[in-house]
Amino acid sequence: MRTKTLWLWLGLLVTSLALVAAGCGGDDNEAAGTGATTGGTEAAEQVITVNWGTEPPSLDPGLATDVTSSNILLNIMDPLVKLDEDLNPVGAAAESFETSDDGKTVTYHLRDGLKWTNGDPVTANDFEYSWKRRSHRSSVPTTRTSSTALSGRRSTTAVIPRRTTAPP
């Protein structure tokens, strides 16, 4: 019995070492013979396949409360602003934004050329509608999410982005 245990441990050790050795080594020159690209040119078809793990319950930004839906929405839609590495707000769909002196009003200036996937232009009215819909109690999901900051208040004022025009 002791001999079997010894052989089992020896087999596990050899297998582990083989896996470690297989994972190490290789260089960029070896990739050339395999058809893999090492940089410089784009693939013919610009497609990425991602396994999100589960079907999203909703891709409606006003109703999404789960991680899967949120991850997909963050990858297919731009918010007005995003957070940078230092957690400071930076423009995304907004080219720029200013906060009033009293801190109660934020004015967003949209980037030119924003389009929906069907080619229609994205307008300030789209953001206004979304903001008002999200802050309306009947459309807020029942679970506690980031919408709580908006829906928990007695009054929420929608901030209407203004489209900036390109300088002449």
Distance, in Å, from the CA atom of 43 to the CA atom of 117, rounded to the nearest integer, reads: 22
Distance, in Å, from the CA atom of 40 to the CA atom of 58, rounded to the nearest integer, reads: 38
Q: Are strands 162-163 and 106-110 parallel, antiparallel or unpaired?
A: parallel
Q: Which domain holds residue 71?
A: 46-77
- Residues 118 and 151 grouped into a single domain: yes
Distance, in Å, from the CA atom of 5 to the CA atom of 22, rounded to the nearest integer, reads: 26
Question: Could you report the per-residue pLDDT of 48-107, keeping only the tens digit for each?
Answer: 888 888 889 988 888 888 899 988 888 888 888 989 999 999 999 999 999 999 988 989
- Residues 88 and 120 grouped into a single domain: yes
The pTM is what?
0.52
- Residues 89 and 149 grouped into a single domain: yes
Q: State the total domains in the chain.
A: 2
